Homo-oligomer: A and B are copies of this chain.
Amino acid sequence: MSQVKAYGAEANDADLKQLDIKRREILPNDIHIEIDYCGVCHSDIHQVRNDWKNSKYPVIPGHEIIGHVVAVGKEVTKFKEGQKVGVGCMVDSCQDCDACDEGLEQYCEKGMTATYNSPDKHLGGHTFGGYSEEVVVDEKFVLNVSEKLDMKAVAPLLCAGITTWSPLKQWNVQKGDKVGVVGLGGLGHMGIKFAHALGTHVVMITTSPNKSEDAERLGADEVLVSKNEEDMKKHANSFDFILNTVPVGHDVNPYLNLLKRDKTMCLVGAIEPLKGVNGGALIVKRKRLAGSLIGGIQETQDMLDFCGEHNIVSDVEMIDMQNINTAFERIVSSDVKYRFVIDMQSLKD
C-alpha cells in the first residue's frame, strides 16, 4: 500500500483540495497506472456536492482517466509497462450475473463498482477516482487506447464518449438514418461526432441558435432550434432516433413529436423527473422513451477502437488540478467547449 496525492472534497467543504489517499498493493490481475489526464464530468460535481444524496467523503472524483502502465500483476498478459491505457466509470463488477456475462457490467445485478464513491472490495471504505497521481485497477476494467490519438482529448471518451456511443449502437442507428442530438455539452458534442461518423444525417436540436456554427463544425448536417415552433412542425414524425443529452429534468414532449412511428428517444443525462410526459405522444404512433447508462467494457473498447480508426476525440480545454473549483463553476454555467481535462502533471509540481 502506498500514499498518493489526490484532489478531493471533504463532507463540509465542497471546494476540492489536495488530500493523501491509499492505493492497494498490486494483485496478480492488477494494472498500476500513473495518471496523465483526467476529464471532468458533470456528475463529478453532483457527487462532490452530494446532489444525489449518496456521496461518501472524502470524494476523490474522476472517471475519464488516461495514463500509462507503471507495473502489472504477475498474471497480467494483456498490458505491459509503459503502455497508454484508459479507465472509465467502472473498476469492478461481480463478473457472474447475466448482465456481466453479456458484457454489460454497468448493469451488474450485484451493482458495479464505480471508479469512485463505490464500496471498495479490497481496502474497505469506498473507491477513489482519477483526480489523483495513480490508480490500481483490475485488468478487465482497463482499456486500450490508440497511441495515434491525442491522449488529452481521449480522456472524455471514457464517459462522455461511451455514454453517447452505447445507445447509438443499442438502437441500431444506421447509415442514412435521421438522428437528432438534443443538447450541446460534453455528451452532446460526442453524440454529434459519433452520429456523423456512423454516416447518419445529424440534426442538432437546441434551444440556443448561437450554437449552430459550432454544431456544424462538429458534424451536424442541420440545426433545429426547438423554440421555433414552425421548424419543429416541419420536422415532426421524421426522426429515426433521438439522443437526449440534457442533464436535468425537462419537457420531452416536443422531442417525442419529432420521432417517426416505432422510433425511440433515449435519455442519457436527465436522471430527474421529466415534466409531464404525454402518454398520447407515445401511444399515437407507438413511440418509445428509453434510457441508457454509460456502456459495458467490451463496447467501450469497441468505441475506442472506432475512435482510433476514425480519428475521433473530444474537444477539450486543459486545466491544472489547482483550478478545479473554477472549472466546476464554469461547467455549471455551461462555459466549456466541451470538456475540461486535468493535466495531472500539475498535481506533481
Which residues of A are at the interface with B, using a C-beta cutoff of 8 A? 99, 104, 107, 170, 249, 261, 264, 267-293
Contacts and interface: CB of A to CB of B under 8 A. Distances in A.
A135 to B, nearest CB: 25
Given A261-B99, A261-B107, A279 B274 contact: yes
Contacts of A270: 279, 283
A87 B261 CA distance: 24
Contact of A289 (B249, B268, B269, B289): B289
A107 B282 CA distance: 12
Given A249-B276, A272-B279, A284-B291, 14 more contacts: A107-B285, A107-B286, A264-B288, A269-B279, A270-B283, A273-B278, A274-B276, A274-B277, A274-B279, A281-B291, A282-B289, A282-B291, A283-B292, A286-B292
A33 B222 CA distance: 52
A257 to B, nearest CB: 13
24 contacts: A99-B261, A107-B261, A170-B286, A264-B288, A269-B279, A271-B278, A272-B280, A273-B276, A273-B277, A274-B276, A274-B278, A277-B277, A280-B291, A281-B291, A282-B289, A282-B291, A283-B291, A283-B292, A284-B293, A286-B290, A286-B291, A286-B292, A288-B289, A289-B290
Contacts of A287: 290-291
Contacts of A267: 279, 282-283
A191 to B, nearest CB: 15
A276 B275 CA distance: 5
Contacts of A285: 107, 293
B283 A279 contact: no
A270 B283 CA distance: 8
Nearest to A251: B273
Contacts of A281: 291
The 6 closest A-B pairs by CB, nearest first: A273-B276, A282-B291, A283-B291, A271-B280, A270-B279, A288-B290
A249 B276 CA distance: 9
Given A276-B249, A278-B272, A279-B270, A293 B289 contact: no
Nearest to A170: B286
A239 to B, nearest CB: 15
Contacts of A293: 283-286
A291 B271 contact: no
A341 B293 CA distance: 47
